[in-house]
């Protein structure tokens, strides 16, 4: 006997934002698919990978910044809320924005997997769908579990049409950005 799936959100977006406004600084909350998620506290290797990518992006494209954990409005009617590990956008792009910004102008979002039980669902399923639906041109997933970088591009109809995977150690370029990544160093930051 099949069970009914409840697709109603756990709370309104407004209630979620009120909750995050009062959450301790040590807790990072996201709201995807109508459900609250707690983003894992990053370990040192996670932080080193984000900084590695930040340096490469700024060296290749000094007119861009990689904003760390910038809150974005995503999903249908911007009802979802995500805090990507990185959001690539023009320098100063998010000046004057509040805690949650519209995704227009974001050129790429980045997630680095954490070693927790939600990584598969969150980083490999929910976030690509939310970012594609928001029209963000690129999603870069640095997957420490599979030791590969996955580049999602060409968002259309709530999905990325093109997905390319590169094992750690491979060299590749981010489509449309002119940023080349040599990923040999990433091998040092996996368990």
115 belongs to a structural domain: yes
Pair type for strands 100-101 and 71-74: parallel
- Most confident segment among 9-13, 68-72, 82-86, 105-109: 105-109
pLDDT at 9: 63
DSSP states along 48-78: HHHHHHHHHHHHH-TTEEEETT-EEEESGGG
36 belongs to a structural domain: no
Which domain range does residue 129 map to? 41-189
Residues 6+ apart with CB under 8 A from 12: none
Six token digits for residue 69 = 């954990």
34 belongs to a structural domain: no
135: left (phi over 0), alpha (psi -120 to 50) or beta: left
pLDDT at 52: 97
> Has residue 5 got a pLDDT over 60?
no
> Has residue 3 got a pLDDT over 80?
no
Six token digits for residue 6 = 């409840």
174 belongs to a structural domain: yes
Q: Which residue has the tokens 């309104």?
A: 12
Task: Say how far apart CA 40 and CA 27 lie, in whole Å.
Answer: 8
pLDDT, tens digit, 9 for 90 and up, residues 165-183: 999 999 999 999 999 999 9
179 belongs to a structural domain: yes
pLDDT, tens digit, 9 for 90 and up, residues 76-97: 666 789 999 999 999 999 999 9
26 belongs to a structural domain: no
28 belongs to a structural domain: no
Number of separate domains in the chain: 1
Q: For the whole model, what pTM was predicted?
A: 0.82
CATH code assigned at 146: 3.90.1570.10
Closest CA to 42 of 21, 61, 18, 68: 68
185 belongs to a structural domain: yes
């Amino acid at each position: 006997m099949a069970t009914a799936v409840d697709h109603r959100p756990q709370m309104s977006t407004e209630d979620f934002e009120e909750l995050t406004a009062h959450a301790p600084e040590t807790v990072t909350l996201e709201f995807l698919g109508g459900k609250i998620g707690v983003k894992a506290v990053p370990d040192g290797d996670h932080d080193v990978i984000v900084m590695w990518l930040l340096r490469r992006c700024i060296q290749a494209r000094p007119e861009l910044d990689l904003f760390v954990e910038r809150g974005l409005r995503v999903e249908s009617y911007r009802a979802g809320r995500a805090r990507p590990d990185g959001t690539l956008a023009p320098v100063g792009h998010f000046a004057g924005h509040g805690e949650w910004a519209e995704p227009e102008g974001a050129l790429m979002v980045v997630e680095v997997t954490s070693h927790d039980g939600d990584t598969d669902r969150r980083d490999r399923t929910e976030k690509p769908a939310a970012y594609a639906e928001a029209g963000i041109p690129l999603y870069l997933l640095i997957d420490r579990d599979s030791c590969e970088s996955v580049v999602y591009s060409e968002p259309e109809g709530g999905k990325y049409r093109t997905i390319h995977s590169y094992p750690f150690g491979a060299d590749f370029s981010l489509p449309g950005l002119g940023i080349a990544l040599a990923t040999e160093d990433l091998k040092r930051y996996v368990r």
